[in-house]
Amino acid sequence: MSGISIPHDRTTKQQVMGYCLNPDCKPNPHTNDYFSFAVDHDRFACPRCGANKPPFVGVQVLTHWLVQDNKGPIEGEGGLRWKIACDQDRAYLATFSNLEAATKAFEVANCPGCKNRNTGE
């Protein structure tokens, strides 16, 4: 069966987003932007062109926002404690295969749940 698989250990709290790098799918041919779309099932393909294999189609990396918190479940460099803004009980940043990441830089994070929890902490 063809199509891109969603990592089995990816969070289910946020919408999975796919991308297509086919030049015909670009929203604006004069930029480096790519076509992005919501994914709601495994073995998906680009809804515009039908591409269903790398290098054109894939799952976007979900980048969470890390917030410093003395009681946070994640211990970082120097013993500082952190929490992920959208899942404050989660005690890990990412796994080898889930296509998730984490950053202290709010402007780099793309997780909608983390972005919505921007409380100025």
Res 120: pLDDT? 47
Report strand pairing: 74-75 vs 35-39: unpaired
pLDDT tens-place string over residues 44-98: 999 999 999 999 999 999 999 999 999 999 999 999 999 999 999 999 988 889 9
Q: Do 80 and 63 meet the contact criterion of CB atoms below 8 Å apart?
A: no
Burial class (CB in 10 A: 0-12, 13-18, 19+), 40: exposed
pLDDT tens-place string over residues 51-66: 999 999 999 999 999 9
Q: Do 45 and 35 meet the contact criterion of CB atoms below 8 Å apart?
A: no
Look at the pTM and tell me if it is higher than 0.95: no
Res 121: pLDDT? 43
